[in-house]
Amino acid sequence: MKPYIHLNSAMTADGKIATSNSSLQISSKDDLIRVHKLRCKYDGIMVGINTVLIDDPKLTIHKIDAKKEDNPTRIIIDSKARTPLNARVLNDDADSVIVVSKKAPEDRVDKLKNMCNVIVAGEDQIDLPLAMSKLYDMGILSILLEGGSTLNFSMLKDKLVDKLSVCVGSKILGGFDSKTLVDGEGFNPSECINLKIENIEKIDDDILVEYRIIYEN
């Protein structure tokens, strides 16, 4: 069994979610309030290690009133156990789970184990289906996936994402190396993932598009 997984992201009108090495504020204030209301509904919020290294996100509910107990578990996909010990995702505001692979250096894993829950899934990269199954068994039945581009690709490739919502901000970033909603190796044209629009909404100067994901076999 796996958790229900909702991928939420913000991209520019030209499909970028960040520069090659820094984050980008795309969502309007009202869209961020929507995201924080969404965070309340999920058991976990998950990101890839590069997002932690670049953004140092809090991954808590902090843009609307919420109690500490309302914060979802923060989940980091971090094969080599590179999460810095002073990263905000390891503070006391919420529980955290770091998912590492068997290749993660033992000393790093031991240090992280002093600060949060660490689970192992995969030989080198994270085996995402196995990780999702382990998280489900821990009681994490729903996850809000918040990027970045590389993790988004792997999660879609493994057919683990159930719903996608994208905030399209009224900005253009451009750039050959800027990150897009989904990077990774990409799909063959015949294997593109099809989406079905469920809702479209204007939020300030942003457009929110919500999709159901249709995986073909």
**51 binds ligand NAI, rule: CB under 6 A:** yes
117 binds ligand LIKH6CAM (CB under 6 A): no
Partner from ligand LIKH6CAM, ligand NAI, none binding residue 149, C-beta < 5-8 Å depending on class:
ligand NAI
3-state secondary structure of 65: coil
* C-beta of residue 73 within 8 angstroms of C-beta of residue 97: yes
Whether residue 201 contacts residue 208, with contact meaning beta carbons closer than 8 Å, is answered with: yes
The DSSP element (H or E) to which 60 belongs, if any, is none
Q: Can you tell me the distance from the alpha carbon of 210 to that of 213, in angstroms, rounded to the nearest whole number?
A: 10
Of the candidates 106, 62, 116, 46, the residue with the CA atom closest to the CA atom of residue 80:
106
Task: Say whether residue 71 binds ligand NAI (CB under 6 A).
Answer: no
- Nearest-approach distance from CB 137 to ligand NAI, in angstroms: 19
Tell which one of 2, 3, 6, 18 touches ligand NAI (CB under 6 A): 18
**12 touching ligand NAI, by CB under 6 A:** no
Residue 47, interface with ligand NAI (CB under 6 A)? yes
Q: Which of residues 115-144 bind ligand NAI (CB under 6 A)?
A: 125-126, 128
How many residues in the shown chain lie near ligand NAI by CB under 6 A? 27
Q: Identify the three-state secondary structure at position 1.
A: coil
Contact 114/137 with Cβ under 8 angstroms?
A: no
Q: Does 150 bind ligand NAI (CB under 6 A)?
A: yes
57 binds ligand LIKH6CAM (CB under 6 A): yes
Written as six digits, the tokens of 197 are 């629009």
N-terminal to C-terminal alpha carbon distance within the chain: 19
Q: Which residues contact ligand LIKH6CAM by CB under 6 A?
A: 10, 23-27, 35, 47, 51, 55, 57-60, 146-147, 167
